[in-house]
Amino acid sequence: MAVHSGDREHWEKIAFITALCERHIPNYALYCETIEAPEQATQLRKILNKVWEYLAGQLNSMKNLEKALLQLEELTPEPAEEDGYGVYPALDCCLLLTSALQMILDDSADDMEAAEGLSLATVSQFIALSEGLEEFDPLEQQHELYDQEMELQQWLKTCLSEKKAQPEIIKQLRKQLSEFDSSNLGIAL
């Protein structure tokens, strides 16, 4: 039986979104490289680390997280002001991190399914662009990157539902995610 997001604990949903964001980080870093703003990638990494610390029980200050959300707004790219494709995966990374922070600050928020869809859409759009397709339809076509994204999301759900203490799961998850050599789009930095 599939576990629906409604059956999950709130922190598991936040951790799921945070893990997706972790896989998007190289996309944001590449974008920052192209606009010659590497400090923005460093700032985004610090905000993501705060979310991980919160999930591991090492950060309790909501003020820190509220401040991080405001900082994130300044780091979020605006596609209307950009020319290249890279702004879109970078924006998606910021949207995931925004969702995680908002869910921490508001217990009633639940963006898990939206985050799943966003991450899959990022991959689909990239496949369409790189393969010269009008659009990529996973029901009609297969692609390694899309399959990897689906497998990753399933793997995350399995990891997060293990019967271990939350800090232990978070520590293990971060370690395993750090071993990936590229983003969900196959971008390695």
Percentage of the chain exceeding pLDDT 90: 85
For residue 189, tell me if it sits in a domain.
no
* pLDDT tens figures, 30-54: 999 999 999 999 999 999 999 999 9
How large is the average pLDDT for residues 86-96?
97
For residue 136, tell me if it sits in a domain.
yes
Number of domains in the chain: 1
CATH number at residue 88: 1.20.1590.10
58-62, 96-100, 172-176: which has the minimum mean pLDDT?
58-62
Of residues 82 and 27, more confidence is placed in 27
- Inter-CA distances, 10 with 32, 41, 152, 171, 186, Å: 31, 27, 20, 18, 30
For residue 1, tell me if it sits in a domain.
no
Question: Cβ distance 163 to 185 under 8 Å?
Answer: no
How large is the average pLDDT for residues 123-140?
92
Write out the residue range of the structural domain in which residue 150 sits.
Answer: 7-178
* pLDDT tens figures, 178-189: 999 899 999 987
Mean pLDDT of the chain: 92
The answer, yes or no, to whether residue 4 has pLDDT greater than 70, is no
For residue 96, tell me if it sits in a domain.
yes
For residue 21, tell me if it sits in a domain.
yes
pLDDT score at 184:
94
For residue 183, tell me if it sits in a domain.
no
For residue 184, tell me if it sits in a domain.
no
* pLDDT tens figures, 94-122: 999 999 999 999 999 999 999 999 999 99
For residue 48, tell me if it sits in a domain.
yes
